[in-house]
């Protein structure tokens, strides 16, 4: 089986569910094709997430054109240091860029702020901290951007969508210090059970992706087990994090049932009960 071949459609869910985090602009299918495949397995809504100004504009435009799509807009944590310090090697999809300094970051954040004011934009994110790809020289720009996104989310009454990679303590510190928005979502939850209990006490939503099905992901399953069902979401983060047994092949919203069934087993719930709860949670988180 080719690693580039799309996995087959899983058995449809009996109860509709939503994909709380996807990147349709990075997938091979057209938006219409992706939504049709998702609907065929009862994934009836998706949150399209922007990672830079151009992607956020695209997310907003796509949500305006498709009722099943809800937009979230932001500068990805790794985008902020690239804006400030430049990216001469072109490590991102956008290619090489010159340093823009704080003024360029302020300009980009102003565009995100304007997009966040739109009615069909339901979230501000993915924002947060990522200590995996960004070295010490980029941390200050990341935190400045994160704090700005928190204020944008609160100003417009939108959900905050958090990207947290190798930065759990610092993400929680900034949220506590700045004051988290009323609705805060940890996208692709990556903490352990202890952190899940901290998030639960704070009322943060925890969104689990296909990596919770991986053999080495017992800490994620332990976190899911203790996470309150009313705070649990499911996502693809497509085209990334394709669930087992399709790991390494292209991900898409239609594969949500694979992850949801694995989650139901961990939670000791039947899939219909979990799907209904997750749809309600996602609609509550993103106000749709």
Give the integer Cα–Cα distance in Å for 110 and 103: 11
Return the pLDDT at 199.
Answer: 98
Query: Which residue, 128, 139, 122, 138, is CA-closest to 178?
Result: 128
pLDDT in tens, 206-231: 999 999 999 999 999 999 999 999 99
Q: How many residues does the chain have?
A: 288
Return the pLDDT at 58.
Answer: 98
Q: How far is CA 288 from CA 65, 100, 255, 283, in A?
A: 15, 36, 22, 5
Return the pLDDT at 1.
Answer: 53
Binding-site residues sit at 21, 23, 126, 163, 187, 237
Question: Do 262 and 48 meet the contact criterion of CB atoms below 8 Å apart?
Answer: no
**Across-strand partners of 128?**
163
Return the pLDDT at 12.
Answer: 98
Number of C-beta neighbours around residue 12 at 10 A: 13
Report all structural domains of the chain as residue ranges with CATH numbers, in order of start: 25-286 (3.20.20.140)
Return the pLDDT at 86.
Answer: 85
HEC sequence for the chain: CCCCCCCCCCCCCCCCEEEEEECHHHCCCCHHHHHHHHHHCCEEEEEEECCCHHHHHHHHHHHHHCCCEEEEECCCCCHHHHHHHCECCCCCCCCCECCCHHHHHHHHHHHHHHHHCCCCEEEEEEEEEECCCCCHHHHHHHHHHHHHHHHHHHHHCCEEEEEEECCHHHHHHHHHHHCCCCCEEECCCCCCHHHHHHHHHHCCEEEECHHHHCCCCHHHHHHHHHCCHHHEEECCCCCCCCCCCCCCCCCCHHHHHHHHHHHHHHHCCCHHHHHHHHHHHHHHHHCC
Binding-site residues for a divalent metal cation sit at 21, 23, 126, 163, 187, 237
Give the integer Cα–Cα distance in Å for 130 and 15: 35
List, for the chain, all residue ranges whose pLDDT scores fall below the cut of 50: none
Give the integer Cα–Cα distance in Å for 212 and 112: 31
Return the pLDDT at 92.
Answer: 66
Question: Do 105 and 83 meet the contact criterion of CB atoms below 8 Å apart?
Answer: yes
Return the pLDDT at 99.
Answer: 78
Biggest distance spanned by C-alpha atoms of the chain? 52
pLDDT in tens, 34-53: 999 999 999 999 999 999 99
């Amino acid at each position: 089986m080719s690693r580039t071949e799309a996995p087959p459609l899983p058995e449809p869910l009996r109860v509709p569910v939503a994909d709380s985090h996807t990147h349709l602009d990075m997938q091979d299918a057209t938006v219409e094709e992706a939504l049709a495949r998702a609907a065929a397995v009862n994934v009836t809504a998706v949150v399209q997430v922007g990672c830079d100004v151009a992607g956020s504009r695209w997310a907003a435009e796509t949500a305006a054109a498709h009722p099943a799509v809800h937009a979230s807009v932001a500068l990805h944590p790794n985008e902020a240091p690239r804006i400030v310090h430049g990216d001469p090697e072109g490590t991102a999809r956008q290619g090489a860029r010159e340093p823009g300094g704080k003024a360029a970051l302020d300009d980009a954040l102003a565009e995100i702020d304007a997009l966040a004011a739109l009615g069909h934009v339901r979230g501000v994110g993915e924002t947060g901290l990522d200590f995996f790809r960004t070295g010490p020289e980029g941390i200050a720009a990341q935190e400045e951007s994160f704090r700005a996104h928190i204020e944008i989310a609160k100003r417009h009454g939108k959900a905050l969508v958090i990207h947290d990679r190798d930065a759990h303590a610092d993400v929680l510190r900034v949220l506590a210090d700045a004051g988290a928005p009323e609705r805060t979502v940890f996208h692709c939850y990556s903490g352990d059970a202890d952190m899940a209990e901290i998030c639960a006490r704070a009322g943060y939503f925890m969104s689990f992706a296909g990596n919770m099905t991986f053999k080495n992901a017992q800490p994620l399953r332990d976190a899911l087990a203790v996470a309150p069902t009313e705070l649990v979401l499911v996502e693809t983060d497509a085209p990334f994090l394709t669930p087992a047994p399709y790991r390494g092949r292209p991900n898409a919203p239609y594969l949500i049932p694979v992850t949801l069934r694995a989650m139901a087993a961990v939670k000791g719930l039947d899939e219909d009960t979990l799907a209904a709860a997750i749809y309600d949670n996602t609609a509550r988180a993103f106000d749709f």
